[in-house]
Structure 1
Amino acid sequence: MPNKPNFYAGGVLDRVSAQRKDQSWIDAVFAAAETRIVPIWRAQNFVAGGADLPRAGLLSVADLPEGTEYVLLGLRDGTAYFAADLSHVEDPAVHPGLSARGSFADLRSFGPLMAPEEGNILAYARGLTWWHARHRFCGVCGHPTVSAEGGHVRRCTNPDCATPHFPRTDPAVIMLVHDGDRCLLGRQSRFPPGMYSTLAGFVEPGESLEEAVAREVLEETGIRVGEVTYHSSQPWPFPSSLMLGFHAEAVSRDISIEQDELEDAGWFSREEILTTWGEGGTHRLPRTDSISRRLIEDWLHG
């Protein structure tokens, strides 16, 4: 078991689940002067600081435009944090509460350069606001839904239905397949040039995690796996996945790639990756904030 959380994990907020049903308590902490707002605009996070040292752009309640919806994230050292969706603002760059304090960007473009605890808060806010934006209507009867319990539930407004809907997370397995001193890596056509990564795929209904690992590896590369060992997990709110990481032992070696999934796949030795991959080489590892990079790094270094 790894001794440190993956990036975007390692939550630093107390999610105060016991207080979420107390709207008067939520209203009071939202109005507090010290409360921090984590802004989101059309799935982008607010970032302050320079390109080399980005930090989370946080606002006060007074900075928010009118009509902003907010979601309780939790407490940190007694200070409340709320996510606020500013997607109704056509151009946040001209809003006086935002323009001089930072800018909105995709978290993946600057996340790896941030302090991990800030990356966790921004990922949490992004994932929760994404869910709210896409669950405005009840999936049972079609009536509008409203936010409840601090934004951790959406409830159908039809009194004959009143179905509660909870934030959705899509489980996905991601696995490093190994055969002795070699590991199996693949690349998709959308990857940056030269980048190879671990295999991954969504868990299907009625399927265990181990079965999902074996199925995805077989479908994408024709490789069969035996022992599957859990490694760690990572929230990946791009848009709403929970990545469940594994190491898997190969029991076959001949690769037959699924062209709809992969552009290429191959077996690569530890020595080859450690000595020839990276800057200036023809191959490169996945991004540093990804669990795929963590799975590879931990295998490379034993």
Structure 2
Amino acid sequence: MTGSERPNVFAGPYVDRLDPPRRDPAAVARALAGPAARIVPVWRSRNLLVGGTGPAACLLPWDEQLLAVVDPAELILLGTFRDQVVFAAELAGESPPALRAQAEFVDLRLTGGALEHDEAGVLAYARAMVSWRRRHRYCGSCGTPTRAEQAGHVMACADERCGAQWFPRLDPAVIVLVTDGERALLGRQPSWPEGRYSTLAGFVEPGESLEDAVRREVLEETGVRTGRARYHSSQPWPFPSSLMLGFVAEAATREIRLGDDELEDARWFTRGEIASGAVSLPTPHSVSFRLISDWYDTGATRPLAEEPGVRLWTLRR
């Protein structure tokens, strides 16, 4: 599997999300009481990982230890994963609870690319659902507290006169690699470390198609006009609730005129400049890096990831 056929990190059909079974409270209760029940704990938006030869997801049995720190009503059914029924649970407290030896809560952005692909996906799913639920404790229509329904996938207003229901939402963002064939247009934000450049990006606005968002964002940020925009792939990005939609756009003009103050700099880079380490590229588990590397690989003798001089930007704790 090559190119855009490969699933991005955090993506992939690894979890059976059990809809409609999650609509049946009795079935959910039986699943939680069964021997296959496992909990995906989240503390302060961090996932529990265990070390060893490499980081691995730490899924815990539903036992007395977890009952002491988790209200069963707060659990969110994720679905079946590796023949287990998995639930997400947000843990409170100023410091993380000690749930397992040699395990720690880690920001998924730091380690997502090092995890098994299916584990990264289920942890991202848990993080996204916990974040959404935390932000919908109160009804957005009337301010009344909400209650969880459908195993945590619906937050319903407790005031029957209102009756509003709130469902998980995503914030779509276009991630765009603009090329003129031999060069790629990359930009950098003022807050980034020196030398870091990436693809262009922006959120899709109401009443706007994805293709329109691609053209608008590139024009607003760099002054470059684009022609055909080709969809590449997408990536869940639960930090907290984005869906990254990767595109490759053909440049219709080449002059750069920075416009909306989001970028400190934007430049055209050749494949040679990118491979030489002239720029620090996005984290390798991001769709931004996939866009750059797939474009690079079509015109190079070896993959970008194997170039000895390439520099990759990594998050730090």
TM-score category by the smaller chain?
over 0.9
Distance 1:258 1:6, change over 3 A: same
- Aligned mates of 2:125, 2:134 — CA distance in 1: 15
- What is aligned with 1:37? 39
Instruction: Check if 1:294 corresponds to 2:290.
Output: yes
Aligned partner letter, 2:194:
P
- Aligned mates of 2:83, 2:279 — CA distance in 1: 46
- What is aligned with 2:16? 14
Residue 129 of structure 1, CA deviation:
0.3
- What is aligned with 1:173? 174
Aligned partner letter, 1:83:
A
Task: Spell out the pairing of 1:166-205 with structure 2 (5 A cutoff).
Answer: 166-205=167-206
Task: State which of 64, 72, 79 in structure 1 corresponds to 2:77.
Answer: 72
- Aligned mates of 1:296, 1:20 — CA distance in 2: 40
- Aligned mates of 1:118, 1:298 — CA distance in 2: 24
- Aligned mates of 2:102, 2:146 — CA distance in 1: 33
Residue deviations 1:150-175 (CA, integer Å, cap 9, x gap): 11111111101111110011010111
Distance 1:130 1:217, change over 3 A: same
Aligned length: 292
- Aligned mates of 1:53, 1:189 — CA distance in 2: 34
- Aligned mates of 1:215, 1:292 — CA distance in 2: 18
SS at structure 1 position matched to 2:281: coil
Aligned partner letter, 2:209:
S
Task: State which of 86, 89, 92 in structure 1 corresponds to 2:93.
Answer: 89
- What is aligned with 1:272? 273
Residue 283 of structure 1, CA deviation:
1.5
Aligned partner letter, 1:246:
F
- Aligned mates of 1:101, 1:258 — CA distance in 2: 49
- What is aligned with 1:247? 248
- What is aligned with 1:25? 27
- Aligned mates of 1:99, 1:26 — CA distance in 2: 26
- What is aligned with 2:230? 229
- Aligned mates of 1:200, 1:189 — CA distance in 2: 15
SS at structure 2 position matched to 1:17: coil
- What is aligned with 1:154? 155
SS at structure 2 position matched to 1:92: coil
Residue 192 of structure 1, CA deviation:
3.2
SS at structure 2 position matched to 1:177: strand
Aligned partner letter, 1:54:
P
Aligned partner letter, 1:28:
R
Once structures 1 and 2 are overlaid, which stretch shifts more, 102-111 or 186-195?
186-195
Tell me if the contact between 1:34 and 1:79 (Cα under 8 Å) persists in the aligned partners: yes
Tell me if the contact between 1:92 and 1:99 (Cα under 8 Å) persists in the aligned partners: no
Residue 271 of structure 1, CA deviation:
2.5
Residue deviations 1:239-298 (CA, integer Å, cap 9, x gap): 100001100011111111236201111001122223x02xxxx42211011000000111
Unaligned runs of 5+ in 2: 299-317
Q: CA RMSD in A?
A: 1.4
- Aligned mates of 2:119, 2:257 — CA distance in 1: 41
Identical-residue share of aligned pairs (%):
51
SS at structure 1 position matched to 2:4: coil
- What is aligned with 2:207? 206
What is the TM-score of this pair, normalised by structure 2?
0.89
- Aligned mates of 1:192, 1:140 — CA distance in 2: 41
What is the TM-score of this pair, normalised by structure 1?
0.93
